[in-house]
């Protein structure tokens, strides 16, 4: 029996890496993609080629370097997944960046563009490239388009306005896609993580002049940071057959932050 096939963006580290590993351990074939280089517009380091290569050590994972802002590159990655494994069953948009630390009108335009273009446009780009492939699977289908939103989609976080706007856009996108996909057998859902122990949270702490990411833990009722594997476990569930009754959902995985 052929494995189910996924494409995961932002796969070098954080939630994207954890999701890639989780799916691969479950027997999925995964095309793991990442920019794997720093963005000159942003003042902190992105995932590296070495980190992406480590994720691709799994025999079920193939790594590719690309920018989710490049629509043609994403289309090529989708084609590669179809050619290599015979089709695509899930596309998971986990690539994300953060910037801010000052009021919106003071954020350098290049940083604002990096956040909006990666965190929202990158998800739209993946949807445009991947959903036609999900629909190319013969009926009855069980395709999954998934995205990583954020608790920031529903909370007004000071000095992170562009990030909040992008993540709110992701939540709205999956709701609309759920309606558009209707009874096709392909669903669209998102997870909305709270404070998760990732490089983005470390950069958030720096932007807020906090000593470390751990300073965010008390704001969550569970009084701890989430591990990326906890978010990945929910994404893996949403990618699988047991989520067949869900579409257009934004699932909090936030340690109770939204309560």
Give the catalytic positions in this structure.
163
Quick one: which of 155, 157, 195 has its CA closest to 171? 155
Residue 63 CB neighbour total at 10 angstroms: 22
Quick one: which of 6, 7, 91, 17 has its CA closest to 47? 17
**Partners of 158 in beta bridges:** none
Q: Are 235 and 19 in contact (CB under 8 A)?
A: yes
Residue 217 CB neighbour total at 10 angstroms: 17
- Longest CA–CA span in the chain (Å) reads 55
Quick one: which of 62, 234, 52 has its CA closest to 149? 234
């Amino acid at each position: 029996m052929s494995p189910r096939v996924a494409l995961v963006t932002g796969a070098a580290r954080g939630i994207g890496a954890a999701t890639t590993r989780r799916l691969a351990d479950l027997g999925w074939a995964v095309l793991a993609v990442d920019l794997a280089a720093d963005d000159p517009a942003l003042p902190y380091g992105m995932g590296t080629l070495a980190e992406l290569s480590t994720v691709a050590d799994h025999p079920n994972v193939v790594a590719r370097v690309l920018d989710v802002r490049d629509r043609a590159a994403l289309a090529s990655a989708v084609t590669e997944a179809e050619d290599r494994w015979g089709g695509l069953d899930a596309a998971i948009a986990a690539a994300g960046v953060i910037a801010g630390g000052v009021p919106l009108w003071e954020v350098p335009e290049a940083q604002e563009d990096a956040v909006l273009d990666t965190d929202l446009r990158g998800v739209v780009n993946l949807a445009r490239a991947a959903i036609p492939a999900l629909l190319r699977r013969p009926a009855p289908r069980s395709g999954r388009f998934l995205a990583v939103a954020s608790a920031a989609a529903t909370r007004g976080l000071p000095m992170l306005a562009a990030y909040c706007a992008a993540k709110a856009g992701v939540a709205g996108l999956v709701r609309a896609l759920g309606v558009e996909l209707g009874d096709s057998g392909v669903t669209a859902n998102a997870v909305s993580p709270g404070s998760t122990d990732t490089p983005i949270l470390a950069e958030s702490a720096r932007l807020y002049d906090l000593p470390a990411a751990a300073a965010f833990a008390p704001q969550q009722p569970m009084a701890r940071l989430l591990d990326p594997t906890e978010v990945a476990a929910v994404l893996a569930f949403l990618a699988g057959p047991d989520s067949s009754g869900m579409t257009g959902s934004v699932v909090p995985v936030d340690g109770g932050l939204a309560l």
